[in-house]
Amino acid sequence: MNRKGEYGKLVRDRIPQIIREDGAEPVTYIAGSEEYRNRLRDKLGEEVREFLEAEDAKAPEELADVLEVVHALAADLGVEAGQLEKIREAKASERGGFVDRIIWTGNR
């Protein structure tokens, strides 16, 4: 059950086909726009949790799943992947990235 008490979860587009190829018949429906955005947010949390729990060998695959959901969320917001990357670059230019591994512990 998701955060709104609804059953089911958002799955990748080919999952119903894969289920059929395995001999079962999936029960699906197409989400409306509001539900889709909410389900994407739920999926992002799910994929981030899976990344956080993954061992190093599996972490890149889980991180790619996070990125897939981020791209879907951006598209749903009307932002293309290239545009999202430009936004990320601008923020990195203004505030920096995380390459230097700086940990802030407060001010004096």
Mean pLDDT for the stretch of residues 37-54? 98
Q: Burial, 73: exposed, middle or buried (Cβ in 10 Å; 0-12, 13-18, 19+)?
A: middle
> Which pTM was predicted?
0.86
Residue 29: what pLDDT?
A: 96
CA 56 to CA 10: how far, in whole Å? 26
Residue 39: other Cβ atoms inside 10 A? 20
Band (pLDDT 50/70/90 cuts) for residue 7 is confident
Residue 26: what pLDDT?
A: 96
Domain extents in the chain: 15-82
Task: Output the DSSP codes for 24-54.
Answer: ------PPPHHHHHHHHHHHHHHHHHHHHHS
pLDDT surpassing 60 at residue 105? yes
